[in-house]
Amino acid sequence: MPAGPVAAGGGISAAGSKNKIAGIAMTAFAAFGGILFGYDTGTISGIIQMDDWLRTFGVRTTDLQTYPLGFYLPSSRESLVVSLLSAGTFFGALLGAPVADILGRRVGIIASCLVFALGVALQTGSHNLATFLVGRVFAGGGVGLVSTLVPMYQSECSPKWIRGAVVSGYQWAITIGLLLASVINNATKDRQSHSAWQIPISIQFIWAFILSAGMTYLPESPRWLIKKGRDEAAARSLSRLTSLPKDDPEVQTELHDIRAALEEEMKLGESSYLDCFKPGHNKIILRTLSGIFIQAWQQLTGINFIFYYGTTFFKNSGISNPFLISVATNIVNVFMTIPGIWGIERFGRRSLLLYGAVLMCICEYLIAIIGVTISVQNQSGQKALIALVCIYIAGFAATWGPIAWVITGEIFPLNVRAKAMSLSVASNWLWNWAIAYATPYLVNTGPGNAGLEAKVFFIWGSTCLGCVIFTYFCIPETKGLSLEQIDLLYQNSTPITSVRYRKELIAQDIHVSDVKGEPEEKHDDHGSAEKV
């Protein structure tokens, strides 16, 4: 069947044997695109605290007691610099669907790297704020395109049994990018020349080159090739992904399934964005809104407050080396994503989302309470804050970080999947931008600012409570189901009753063709012709 974007696209049915690693290795490489997003997100929080960057792009002040450097970054300018990347990614994500359909998944990713590299060049060579901001927008456009195209490519080309883990690798790459950014920032922060911030920014050329060069050697998505009528090229692509000859019966069966499903899709006609919000027995409007809101709630957990403004927050809390603490929190983020990747297929999506939201909620309320009751000189209290922040990051990394991306692709019906995918990813970036823009005004002190400081975690704790409620009422358990079975799940159960009905679907091996009265052979999930 044809695949969809993100974690649970159609995937590859042929050669589902778990000793086939060629396709896994190729699709896993595409996750490198996450480093582009993670690195840029992480590097800006440190750059805006560097002396030379403040002298170049900051505002001069005579208040040397508060700002010994003689320069500072007003909240308006700080929010603009940090948030403009997210504004660019919002529009880049919306363009992801047409770019994927016109250029293809693979070529689209390469083109995204060129857009991103243009943004990096503008930032590196800028000597005025306007040029730097334009560079942020172009870099954001490239990241937004990548965030739609990479998971789409992975889901269409990876085997079903490991698809969730493969696409979760994209989130893992984001965390690695964040860690690399904090390490490099820490290494260059004391330089008193433009190189202090130009080195961290220009290193992004390397990430874009690695991704684009690697994608030139990878096969195109078989689904896209068949959609364009290039059946012979689709056979060669699937042959590479499965390590089987292109005339192998399993490869031919897979290609036949893709064509058949594409024909069914074409019978529905061209879908519009309005079709994503149509009510009906298939609950498309619920599924679309669930995808949009799960990406919004992921941002509203407050995680990007730490990675956009963590250095500033730790510095204001009286911590002597905030850059080093930022490195530590990023290490937690990287390594705690690994059990999350494993747990997605072990414990299920719904339960991990619930437990993760509860853990984050508790940690953030405690951070807020401790932050408003101790002084910055209280070293034990500051260490407790750091520990709670690390536990909170660990909870996010193992649950909401990777799972939100997996869920987004699994719940969409075939005929609106690409458009619903772009809407969901755009929602992620829209909230990313809103939080990045508003946070300085919420946290900073002074005229025109709310001056919440650590009290901002009361807001993040409350939004995590909202994540619990949202998951309980809106997100079903989809672990181990094919996309067709997820359609049945939505048609015949609610998110609350989905756990029981999912067990029935798996126990009785029910498929859409069975429901329609068409005979279908039972299959062994461990066999080589694993269905999706």
The reported pLDDT for the residue numbered 48 is 85
Q: Can you tell me the distance from the alpha carbon of 308 to that of 311, in angstroms, rounded to the nearest whole number?
A: 8
pLDDT per residue as tens digits for the range 18-29: 446 766 777 788
The pLDDT-based confidence of 8 (bands split at 50, 70, 90) is very low
In this predicted structure, what is the pLDDT of residue 437? Answer: 79
Whether the Cβ atoms of residue 27 and residue 9 lie closer than 8 Å to each other: no
Q: How confident is the model over 89-107, as a mean pLDDT?
A: 88
Of 74-83, 215-224, 393-402, least confident by mean pLDDT is 74-83
Q: Label residue 467 by pLDDT band (50, 70, 90).
A: very high
CB 224, CB 231: distance < 8 Å: no
Q: What is the 3-state secondary structure (H, E, C) of 267-326?
A: HCCCCCHHHHHCCCCCCHHHHHHHHHHHHHHHHHCCHHHHHHHHHHHHHHCCCCCHHHHH
Q: Assign 96 a pLDDT band (cuts: 50, 70, 90).
A: confident
pLDDT tens column, 368-385 = 898 888 876 777 887 888
**pLDDT tens per residue, range 441-457:** 887 777 777 777 778 89
Q: What is the secondary structure of 133-174 as a DSSP string? A: HHHHHHHHHHHHHHHHHHHHHHHHHSBGGGHHHHHHHHHHHH
Q: Please report which confidence band the pLDDT of residue 466 belongs to, taking 50, 70 and 90 as the band edges.
A: very high
pLDDT at 210: 95
pLDDT at 480: 76
Instruction: Convert the pLDDT of each residue in 288-320 to its tens digit.
Output: 999 999 999 999 998 877 766 666 667 666 666
- The mean predicted confidence, pLDDT, of the chain is 82
pLDDT in tens, 493-502: 999 999 899 8
Q: Please give the C-alpha separations between residue 289 and each of 295, 296, 416, 420, 488, in angstroms, as whole numbers.
A: 10, 10, 13, 9, 18
pLDDT at 256: 78
Mean pLDDT of 2-6: 34
Tens digit of each residue's pLDDT (9 = 90 or more) over 205-245:
999 999 999 999 899 988 888 888 888 888 888 888 877 88
- φ, ψ (nearest 5 deg) of residue 72: -150, 170
- Between 41 and 30, the higher pLDDT residue: 30
Q: Which residue segments constitute the domains of the chain, with CATH numbers given?
A: 25-218+270-475 (1.20.1250.20), 224-269 (no CATH)
> Between 79 and 14, where is the model more confident?
79
Residue 17 clears pLDDT 70, i.e. is over it: no
pLDDT at 174 over 70: yes
pLDDT-based confidence at residue 6 (cuts at 50, 70, 90) = very low
Q: Tens digit of pLDDT for each residue in 311-370? A: 666 766 666 677 677 778 888 989 999 998 888 878 888 999 999 999 999 999 998 898
- In this prediction, residue 41 has a pLDDT band, given cuts at 50, 70 and 90, of confident
- Single-letter code of the amino acid located at 76: S
Return the bridge partners of 72, or none: 59
Question: What's the rounded Cα separation, in Å, for the pair 411 and 420?
Answer: 10
- Model confidence, pTM: 0.78
pLDDT of 51 over the 60 cut: yes
Q: Specify the pLDDT at position 269.
A: 61
- Axis-axis angle for helices 204-215, 33-47 (nearest 10): 170
What mean pLDDT do residues 407-427 have?
Answer: 81
Tokens of 12: 């590859």
HSE (side-chain half, CA atoms, 13 Å) at 492:
17
Unique residue bearing structure tokens 């939080």: 435
Q: What is the pLDDT of residue 424?
A: 92
pLDDT of residue 11: 53
Question: Residue 293 and residue 325: Cα distance in Å, rounded?
Answer: 31
Q: What percent of the chain has pLDDT over 70?
A: 85
